[in-house]
Amino acid sequence: MGRARVLALILVGGGAVGCAPLTRGAAGIENAIVFQPKPFPKGDWNPAPRTEDVWIDSSDGVRLHGWLAEPARGPSRAVVLYTHGNGGNVTNRRHVIELFRDRMNATVLVFDYRGYGRSDGRPTENGVLDDARAARRWLAARAGVREADVVLAGHSLGGGVAVDLAARDGARGLILEGTFTNLPDVAASHVPLLPVRAVMRAQLDSVAKIGAYRGPLLQVHGDADRIVPYALGRRLFEAANEPKQFVTIPGGNHNEHYTPEYVAALDHFITSLP
Protein backbone atom coordinates (compact mmCIF):
# COMPACT_ATOMS: atom_id res chain seq x y z
CA MET A 1 0.00 0.00 0.00
CA GLY A 2 3.01 2.33 0.20
CA ARG A 3 2.80 3.16 -3.53
CA ALA A 4 -0.85 4.12 -3.80
CA ARG A 5 0.00 7.49 -5.35
CA VAL A 6 2.15 5.89 -8.04
CA LEU A 7 -0.52 3.24 -8.58
CA ALA A 8 -3.19 5.84 -9.19
CA LEU A 9 -1.05 7.71 -11.70
CA ILE A 10 -0.18 4.57 -13.62
CA LEU A 11 -3.76 3.32 -13.65
CA VAL A 12 -5.13 6.51 -15.11
CA GLY A 13 -2.28 6.76 -17.58
CA GLY A 14 -2.51 3.07 -18.47
CA GLY A 15 -6.24 2.98 -19.15
CA ALA A 16 -7.82 3.94 -22.42
CA VAL A 17 -9.29 7.39 -23.01
CA GLY A 18 -10.90 8.94 -19.93
CA CYS A 19 -12.22 6.25 -17.60
CA ALA A 20 -11.99 3.28 -19.93
CA PRO A 21 -11.16 -0.12 -18.39
CA LEU A 22 -7.55 -1.08 -17.87
CA THR A 23 -5.69 -2.68 -20.73
CA ARG A 24 -4.08 -6.05 -20.04
CA GLY A 25 -0.67 -4.36 -19.79
CA ALA A 26 -1.93 -1.73 -17.38
CA ALA A 27 -3.64 -4.41 -15.30
CA GLY A 28 -0.30 -6.17 -15.03
CA ILE A 29 1.30 -2.95 -13.84
CA GLU A 30 -1.51 -2.53 -11.31
CA ASN A 31 -0.87 -6.02 -9.92
CA ALA A 32 2.85 -5.32 -9.73
CA ILE A 33 2.22 -2.25 -7.59
CA VAL A 34 -0.61 -3.57 -5.42
CA PHE A 35 1.49 -6.63 -4.55
CA GLN A 36 5.09 -6.02 -3.45
CA PRO A 37 6.49 -9.48 -2.61
CA LYS A 38 9.99 -10.31 -1.49
CA PRO A 39 10.73 -13.70 -3.08
CA PHE A 40 13.17 -16.16 -1.55
CA PRO A 41 16.04 -15.75 -0.68
CA LYS A 42 15.31 -12.17 0.42
CA GLY A 43 14.95 -12.07 4.20
CA ASP A 44 16.32 -13.97 7.18
CA TRP A 45 15.20 -17.55 6.56
CA ASN A 46 16.41 -18.98 9.83
CA PRO A 47 13.03 -19.93 11.30
CA ALA A 48 11.79 -17.99 14.27
CA PRO A 49 12.38 -19.99 17.47
CA ARG A 50 10.08 -22.99 17.89
CA THR A 51 8.40 -22.62 14.50
CA GLU A 52 7.75 -25.23 11.84
CA ASP A 53 8.12 -24.85 8.07
CA VAL A 54 4.86 -25.97 6.46
CA TRP A 55 3.75 -26.42 2.86
CA ILE A 56 0.21 -25.93 1.60
CA ASP A 57 -1.37 -26.53 -1.83
CA SER A 58 -3.77 -23.86 -3.04
CA SER A 59 -6.87 -24.89 -4.98
CA ASP A 60 -5.12 -24.51 -8.34
CA GLY A 61 -2.05 -26.46 -7.25
CA VAL A 62 0.19 -23.51 -6.36
CA ARG A 63 2.51 -24.52 -3.52
CA LEU A 64 2.56 -22.15 -0.56
CA HIS A 65 4.99 -21.85 2.33
CA GLY A 66 4.33 -20.76 5.88
CA TRP A 67 5.53 -20.81 9.48
CA LEU A 68 3.41 -22.55 12.10
CA ALA A 69 3.99 -21.64 15.74
CA GLU A 70 2.30 -23.43 18.64
CA PRO A 71 2.45 -22.35 22.29
CA ALA A 72 4.79 -24.21 24.60
CA ARG A 73 2.63 -23.85 27.72
CA GLY A 74 -0.82 -25.25 28.31
CA PRO A 75 -3.63 -25.58 25.77
CA SER A 76 -3.80 -23.09 22.92
CA ARG A 77 -6.32 -20.30 23.58
CA ALA A 78 -7.09 -19.89 19.89
CA VAL A 79 -6.08 -21.05 16.43
CA VAL A 80 -5.13 -17.98 14.38
CA LEU A 81 -4.55 -17.54 10.65
CA TYR A 82 -2.60 -14.34 9.98
CA THR A 83 -2.80 -12.77 6.52
CA HIS A 84 -0.04 -10.24 6.03
CA GLY A 85 0.10 -7.00 4.07
CA ASN A 86 1.17 -6.42 0.49
CA GLY A 87 4.94 -6.27 1.04
CA GLY A 88 7.77 -8.52 2.19
CA ASN A 89 7.32 -12.16 3.20
CA VAL A 90 6.97 -14.27 6.35
CA THR A 91 10.46 -13.33 7.51
CA ASN A 92 9.14 -9.81 8.17
CA ARG A 93 6.40 -11.17 10.47
CA ARG A 94 8.33 -12.59 13.42
CA HIS A 95 6.58 -10.01 15.60
CA VAL A 96 3.27 -11.67 14.72
CA ILE A 97 4.50 -14.97 16.15
CA GLU A 98 5.78 -13.19 19.24
CA LEU A 99 2.41 -11.51 19.74
CA PHE A 100 0.05 -14.43 19.15
CA ARG A 101 2.04 -17.42 20.31
CA ASP A 102 4.22 -15.98 23.04
CA ARG A 103 1.95 -13.27 24.48
CA MET A 104 -1.53 -14.61 23.64
CA ASN A 105 -0.66 -18.32 24.02
CA ALA A 106 -2.34 -19.09 20.70
CA THR A 107 -1.45 -21.28 17.74
CA VAL A 108 -0.68 -19.08 14.73
CA LEU A 109 0.03 -19.74 11.06
CA VAL A 110 1.76 -16.98 9.11
CA PHE A 111 2.00 -17.89 5.43
CA ASP A 112 3.08 -16.31 2.16
CA TYR A 113 0.70 -15.70 -0.70
CA ARG A 114 1.73 -16.96 -4.12
CA GLY A 115 4.83 -15.16 -5.34
CA TYR A 116 5.93 -14.17 -1.83
CA GLY A 117 8.87 -15.77 -0.03
CA ARG A 118 9.17 -19.45 -0.86
CA SER A 119 5.64 -19.73 -2.28
CA ASP A 120 5.29 -20.46 -5.99
CA GLY A 121 3.33 -18.46 -8.57
CA ARG A 122 2.51 -14.78 -9.03
CA PRO A 123 0.07 -12.79 -6.87
CA THR A 124 -3.34 -11.63 -8.08
CA GLU A 125 -6.43 -10.62 -6.13
CA ASN A 126 -8.24 -13.91 -6.76
CA GLY A 127 -5.05 -15.87 -6.23
CA VAL A 128 -4.30 -14.49 -2.76
CA LEU A 129 -7.92 -15.05 -1.70
CA ASP A 130 -7.67 -18.68 -2.83
CA ASP A 131 -4.35 -19.01 -1.01
CA ALA A 132 -5.85 -17.78 2.26
CA ARG A 133 -8.74 -20.22 1.94
CA ALA A 134 -6.28 -23.08 1.39
CA ALA A 135 -4.17 -21.95 4.36
CA ARG A 136 -7.21 -21.87 6.65
CA ARG A 137 -8.29 -25.33 5.47
CA TRP A 138 -4.81 -26.69 6.17
CA LEU A 139 -4.59 -25.01 9.59
CA ALA A 140 -8.02 -26.23 10.69
CA ALA A 141 -7.13 -29.81 9.75
CA ARG A 142 -3.78 -29.58 11.54
CA ALA A 143 -5.31 -28.11 14.71
CA GLY A 144 -8.35 -30.41 14.68
CA VAL A 145 -10.93 -27.61 14.58
CA ARG A 146 -13.62 -26.54 12.13
CA GLU A 147 -12.61 -23.91 9.59
CA ALA A 148 -15.25 -21.59 11.08
CA ASP A 149 -13.48 -21.92 14.46
CA VAL A 150 -10.25 -20.37 13.16
CA VAL A 151 -9.61 -16.78 14.25
CA LEU A 152 -8.72 -14.58 11.27
CA ALA A 153 -6.24 -11.74 11.70
CA GLY A 154 -5.02 -9.49 8.90
CA HIS A 155 -2.92 -6.39 8.43
CA SER A 156 -3.61 -3.79 5.71
CA LEU A 157 -4.16 -5.69 2.44
CA GLY A 158 -4.25 -8.88 4.51
CA GLY A 159 -7.18 -7.40 6.40
CA GLY A 160 -9.08 -7.33 3.12
CA VAL A 161 -8.18 -10.99 2.63
CA ALA A 162 -9.37 -11.83 6.15
CA VAL A 163 -12.66 -9.97 5.65
CA ASP A 164 -13.33 -11.97 2.49
CA LEU A 165 -12.82 -15.25 4.36
CA ALA A 166 -14.94 -14.20 7.33
CA ALA A 167 -17.76 -12.83 5.18
CA ARG A 168 -17.98 -15.95 3.04
CA ASP A 169 -17.45 -18.68 5.59
CA GLY A 170 -17.54 -17.17 9.09
CA ALA A 171 -14.84 -17.14 11.75
CA ARG A 172 -14.50 -17.52 15.49
CA GLY A 173 -13.22 -13.95 15.54
CA LEU A 174 -11.89 -11.30 13.14
CA ILE A 175 -8.94 -9.01 13.92
CA LEU A 176 -8.10 -6.16 11.53
CA GLU A 177 -4.97 -4.00 11.73
CA GLY A 178 -4.78 -0.84 9.60
CA THR A 179 -7.36 -2.15 7.14
CA PHE A 180 -9.18 -0.19 4.42
CA THR A 181 -12.65 -0.04 2.89
CA ASN A 182 -11.38 -1.08 -0.55
CA LEU A 183 -8.31 -0.59 -2.73
CA PRO A 184 -9.74 2.16 -4.96
CA ASP A 185 -10.58 4.24 -1.87
CA VAL A 186 -6.96 4.02 -0.75
CA ALA A 187 -5.65 5.06 -4.16
CA ALA A 188 -8.19 7.89 -4.37
CA SER A 189 -7.16 9.17 -0.95
CA HIS A 190 -3.66 9.78 -2.32
CA VAL A 191 -4.72 11.30 -5.66
CA PRO A 192 -8.27 12.61 -5.11
CA LEU A 193 -8.49 14.41 -8.46
CA LEU A 194 -7.86 11.31 -10.59
CA PRO A 195 -10.63 8.81 -11.50
CA VAL A 196 -8.92 5.75 -10.05
CA ARG A 197 -12.17 4.13 -8.90
CA ALA A 198 -13.32 3.88 -12.50
CA VAL A 199 -10.25 2.06 -13.80
CA MET A 200 -8.95 -0.17 -11.02
CA ARG A 201 -9.59 -3.90 -11.36
CA ALA A 202 -8.27 -4.91 -7.94
CA GLN A 203 -10.92 -4.17 -5.33
CA LEU A 204 -10.68 -6.14 -2.08
CA ASP A 205 -13.99 -4.47 -1.33
CA SER A 206 -14.16 -5.09 2.40
CA VAL A 207 -16.77 -2.42 3.11
CA ALA A 208 -19.20 -4.22 0.78
CA LYS A 209 -18.43 -7.63 2.30
CA ILE A 210 -18.08 -7.13 6.02
CA GLY A 211 -21.82 -6.90 6.67
CA ALA A 212 -22.07 -10.60 5.82
CA TYR A 213 -19.81 -11.45 8.78
CA ARG A 214 -21.71 -11.94 12.02
CA GLY A 215 -19.10 -12.58 14.64
CA PRO A 216 -16.79 -10.71 17.04
CA LEU A 217 -14.59 -8.01 15.49
CA LEU A 218 -11.54 -6.23 16.92
CA GLN A 219 -10.16 -3.44 14.76
CA VAL A 220 -7.09 -1.28 15.39
CA HIS A 221 -5.88 1.75 13.43
CA GLY A 222 -3.37 4.53 13.96
CA ASP A 223 -4.88 8.00 13.65
CA ALA A 224 -1.72 9.23 11.89
CA ASP A 225 -1.67 6.42 9.29
CA ARG A 226 -0.22 7.95 6.09
CA ILE A 227 -0.83 4.83 3.97
CA VAL A 228 -4.40 3.78 4.83
CA PRO A 229 -6.21 6.85 6.16
CA TYR A 230 -7.78 6.48 9.58
CA ALA A 231 -11.14 7.57 8.14
CA LEU A 232 -11.21 4.51 5.86
CA GLY A 233 -10.70 2.24 8.86
CA ARG A 234 -13.55 3.95 10.69
CA ARG A 235 -15.85 3.60 7.66
CA LEU A 236 -15.12 -0.11 7.49
CA PHE A 237 -15.82 -0.47 11.21
CA GLU A 238 -19.14 1.38 10.91
CA ALA A 239 -20.26 -1.09 8.22
CA ALA A 240 -19.58 -4.09 10.48
CA ASN A 241 -22.07 -5.83 12.74
CA GLU A 242 -21.88 -6.05 16.52
CA PRO A 243 -20.14 -7.22 18.63
CA LYS A 244 -17.24 -5.01 17.64
CA GLN A 245 -14.50 -2.88 19.19
CA PHE A 246 -12.28 -0.22 17.65
CA VAL A 247 -8.89 0.65 19.16
CA THR A 248 -7.33 3.96 18.10
CA ILE A 249 -3.55 4.29 18.33
CA PRO A 250 -2.91 8.02 18.98
CA GLY A 251 -0.16 9.20 16.63
CA GLY A 252 0.19 5.68 15.24
CA ASN A 253 1.31 5.18 11.65
CA HIS A 254 0.57 2.22 9.38
CA ASN A 255 2.75 -0.34 11.15
CA GLU A 256 2.52 0.98 14.72
CA HIS A 257 -0.19 -1.13 16.31
CA TYR A 258 1.36 -3.31 19.00
CA THR A 259 0.90 -0.80 21.79
CA PRO A 260 -0.04 -1.79 25.35
CA GLU A 261 -3.62 -0.65 24.63
CA TYR A 262 -3.94 -2.93 21.61
CA VAL A 263 -2.24 -5.88 23.31
CA ALA A 264 -4.60 -5.57 26.28
CA ALA A 265 -7.63 -5.31 23.97
CA LEU A 266 -6.43 -8.33 21.99
CA ASP A 267 -5.96 -10.38 25.15
CA HIS A 268 -9.49 -9.52 26.29
CA PHE A 269 -10.88 -10.21 22.81
CA ILE A 270 -9.37 -13.71 22.70
CA THR A 271 -10.54 -14.44 26.24
CA SER A 272 -14.11 -13.43 25.36
CA LEU A 273 -14.40 -15.43 22.13
CA PRO A 274 -17.18 -18.02 22.08
What's the mean pLDDT when you consider all of the chain? 89
What average pLDDT does the segment 77-89 reach?
Answer: 97
Q: What is the span of the domain harbouring residue 57? A: 37-194+204-272
pLDDT in tens, 246-267: 999 999 999 887 999 999 999 9
Q: pLDDT tens-digit profile of 102-151?
A: 999 999 999 999 999 999 999 999 999 999 999 999 999 999 999 999 99
Tell me the pLDDT band of 202, cut-offs 50, 70 and 90: confident
pLDDT at position 30:
76
The pLDDT of residue 17 is 30
Tally the domains of the chain: 1
Asked if pLDDT for residue 11 goes beyond 50, the answer is: no
CA distances from 99 to 42, 108, 154, 258 (A): 23, 10, 13, 8
CATH of the domain at 250: 3.40.50.1820
| Residue 100 counted as domain residue | yes
The three-point CA angle 144-56-46 to 5° equals: 100
Given this model, what pLDDT does residue 14 score? 39
pLDDT more than 70, % of the chain: 88
- Nearest-angstrom CA–CA distance, 235 and 247: 14
The count of C-alpha atoms lying within 13 angstroms of the C-alpha of 179, restricted to the half-sphere facing its C-beta, is: 34
Is residue 16 a part of any domain in this protein?
no
- Residue 127 inside a domain? The answer is yes
